[in-house]
Structure 1
Amino acid sequence: MTSPHLDPERQSAAQQQLSGLRFTKGHGTGNDFVLVEDQRGDIELTPDHVRVLTDRHLGIGGDGLIRVVRSQELLEGRDLLEAAPDAEWFMDYRNGDGSIAEMCGNGVRVFVHYLAQRGLVQLAEGGAVTIGTRAGARTVRRTAHGYAIDMGPWSYIDEELALERAADSLVLAAGLQDPRPALSISMGNPHTVVALAEDMELDGLDLHQVPNVDPAPPHGTNVEFVVPAEPLVQEGVGRLRMRVHERGVGETQSCGTGACAAAAAVRAWAGDAGSDQWIVDVPGGAVGVEFVPGPDGAEHVVLSGPAELVFDGQMP
């Protein structure tokens, strides 16, 4: 869950340090972000700064913060450029509590939409651009209704245990009477997926509280609760509903990597009854997930959906 407000003295100090900072507010299916353009990497954003900017009561409000910076200006970006020289731009992503995150699928769409709208990249419909993230380079293609991202390969966090038992942990959330079996998936960041039997269970969860995951992942995890559609697959496309508690944030309206992880888990549970194409319904809308052969021989996940820039502003 997002950390409480800073104490008044730290809040005031951080606000003064941010005076004059220009920003943009954007979202992808309700997963919202504060974007700060910092092409040369001159702006130092501390955890306190991020918490002030993303605070929904005392700041702008957002699930996270995205710093728009050239890859060459960051150590992680320079390392990435050696393998992906086309990744000129780096998505420096922070969770709402100020912690650094590896990846955010909805954030990537919003980040690329910002680059395109501001003329920092030329990206016509059907065109593609490569950007850097802490989970590696990602290729994003512009579509008629948004953006599609090759999220890279997915994997089980504990493959041997997952294949043996189809579950590797137990999760208890507020609103559930008993712990439920879960499957842990990596999308460059950690996810724990829990299947529920019906919509009523999903709607009754209180995800303002952090779900208890046993065994507890060493660096935390995003937790997705899903209800597969009935029938699961129609005309070759699977469908499921999802709610998510994001590590370092709390419940969000959508989570791109979480949607990919949820589809991967449901597909694994479904076996031959599953599909390689999915629609994942989230509180903020719907995203598409497709499993495709990757150029590295591994199975990749492609995430698609809309992105919007809502407004620009400047800190007082």
Structure 2
Amino acid sequence: MTISTDANLPADLAALAGLPFAKGHGTGNDFILVADPDGAYGISPAAVAALCDRHRGIGADGLIRAIRSEQLPEGRALLAAAPDAEWFMDYRNADGSVSEMCGNGVRVFVHFLADQGLVELAEGQSLTIGTRAGIKVVSRSANGYAVDMGPWTFIFPDHAVAKSMDSVVHADGLEVPRPALSISMGNPHTVVALAELGELAATKLYEAPQVEPLPEHGTNVEFVVPADPLVVDGAGSITMRVHERGVGETQSCGTGACAAAAAIRYWAGKGAPDDWQVAVPGGVVRVRFLPGQDGPEHVELSGPAVLVARGTLA
């Protein structure tokens, strides 16, 4: 497959001519992936937006550049603590804006590294990588990849602990504003619990929901329906839709699934399970809460990663 530029696309896209790419997804959350180990290509926000355009470009929820950590200031800062983090996931949203982290994207990123022969990662082995949300450790399994996402935190901790809710969300399709909880997974999320699947389906996510107060760098918004019963055989189950910051509604959001499980688990209170199944339009991911080593608990996200196409920008 060859993708050609034309006069309607940004001039700086021409500088990427000849660059190979792959297209991949994790439960429908899809990405363009390029290998640029030594940082030879300057990929501008306009070029990213053009490539991710679903009508005039390749089409994707975001673009991931595989670059050696030593080539970026953010990566070099991480190498001091984690010298084995050779590779950095340089992730951009579909509008070209920089994002801290993507839970589905990090699985696809590691799968891409292995596919390109940039790393060797057999089943059962782990790889340490750099992201703008810090170091992440990704393990390969028979069914995909599991990622230690690190700890989750409240974005507005004083309000959350006092009231269980810290935000209000307005969304088209919901008759009244809904209370919500804002959670950081290295990137910001605001989680809204709904009563039933019909209400979830009626929520329109063509435009970004309005969140008050809005986290400093914007937020992703998850609308979640807990299963009834919530827990079966020791595992919780929820269904989610998401509007991603800088993208729009997507088929899945890995960090969003983690935030949604964290919020429902918090609301459920003492005795809530540590193991969760999160159904999204693109499939199902698993979220587990693991004891931290002399610190806060960590969140593990697991699910599939698939490459569906390869090509060259021309």
Contact 2:16 2:41 in 1 (8 A): no
**Aligned residue for 2:205?**
207
Contact 1:29 1:307 in 2 (8 A): yes
1:244 and 1:188 map into 2 onto residues whose CA distance is 17
Contact 1:241 1:282 in 2 (8 A): yes
Report the CA distance between 1:12 and its aligned residue.
Answer: 4.7
**Aligned residue for 1:198?**
196
55, 62, 65: which one aligns with 1:67:
65
Q: Aligned residue pairs: how many? A: 309
Listed one character per residue, the Cα deviations across residues 113-138 of structure 1 (whole Å, up to 9, x for unaligned) are: 01112221111111101000000000
Pair 247,296 (structure 1): closer, same or farther in 2 beyond 3 Å: farther
Listed one character per residue, the Cα deviations across residues 81-136 of structure 1 (whole Å, up to 9, x for unaligned) are: 00111101000000001000000000000000011122211111111010000000
**Aligned residue for 2:136?**
138
Partner of 1:111, secondary structure, is helix
**Aligned residue for 1:170?**
168
**Aligned residue for 1:182?**
180
**Aligned residue for 1:235?**
233
- Computed over aligned residues only, the root mean square deviation of the Cα atoms, in angstroms, reads 1.2
Contact 1:109 1:149 in 2 (8 A): yes
State whether structure 2 residue 25 is matched by structure 1 residue 40.
Answer: no
Contact 1:30 1:284 in 2 (8 A): yes
Listed one character per residue, the Cα deviations across residues 175-214 of structure 1 (whole Å, up to 9, x for unaligned) are: 1010000000000000000000000010111111110101
1:122 and 1:15 map into 2 onto residues whose CA distance is 31
1:207 and 1:51 map into 2 onto residues whose CA distance is 20
1:117 and 1:36 map into 2 onto residues whose CA distance is 12
2:244 and 2:8 map into 1 onto residues whose CA distance is 25
2:165 and 2:254 map into 1 onto residues whose CA distance is 22
Which stretch of the first structure deviates more once superposed, 17-26 or 253-262? 17-26
Partner of 1:83, secondary structure, is coil
Report the CA distance between 1:17 and its aligned residue.
Answer: 3.1
2:276 and 2:118 map into 1 onto residues whose CA distance is 32
Report the CA distance between 1:244 and its aligned residue.
Answer: 0.3
2:113 and 2:156 map into 1 onto residues whose CA distance is 37
Contact 1:27 1:308 in 2 (8 A): yes
Query: TM-score, normalising length from structure 2?
Result: 0.96
State whether structure 2 residue 264 is matched by structure 1 residue 266.
Answer: yes
**Aligned residue for 2:284?**
286
- Segments of 5+ residues of structure 2 without an aligned counterpart are 1-5
**Aligned residue for 1:155?**
153
Report the CA distance between 1:294 and its aligned residue.
Answer: 2.0
Contact 1:232 1:274 in 2 (8 A): no
**Aligned residue for 2:19?**
21
Contact 1:14 1:52 in 2 (8 A): no
What residue identity is the alignment partner of 1:148?
A: A
**Aligned residue for 1:3?**
none
Partner of 2:270, secondary structure, is helix
1:105 and 1:135 map into 2 onto residues whose CA distance is 11
Report the CA distance between 1:53 and its aligned residue.
Answer: 0.7
What residue identity is the alignment partner of 1:123?
A: L
Partner of 2:179, secondary structure, is strand
Report the CA distance between 1:9 and its aligned residue.
Answer: 6.4
What residue identity is the alignment partner of 1:209?
A: E
Partner of 1:153, secondary structure, is coil
1:297 and 1:171 map into 2 onto residues whose CA distance is 32
**Aligned residue for 2:9?**
11
Superposition misfits of 4+ residues, deviation over 3 angstroms: none
2:232 and 2:49 map into 1 onto residues whose CA distance is 43
Query: TM-score, normalising length from structure 1?
Result: 0.95
88, 91, 110: which one aligns with 1:90:
88
2:94 and 2:35 map into 1 onto residues whose CA distance is 18
**Aligned residue for 1:4?**
none
2:186 and 2:303 map into 1 onto residues whose CA distance is 19
Pair 91,296 (structure 1): closer, same or farther in 2 beyond 3 Å: farther
Which stretch of the first structure deviates more once superposed, 14-23 or 75-84? 14-23
**Aligned residue for 1:30?**
28
Give 1:99-118 correspondences, 5 Å limit: 99-118=97-116
Which stretch of the first structure deviates more once superposed, 280-289 or 112-121? 112-121
What residue identity is the alignment partner of 1:176?
A: L
What residue identity is the alignment partner of 2:161?
A: L
What residue identity is the alignment partner of 2:213?
A: P
Partner of 2:221, secondary structure, is strand
1:109 and 1:183 map into 2 onto residues whose CA distance is 26
**Aligned residue for 2:3?**
none
What residue identity is the alignment partner of 1:289?
A: V
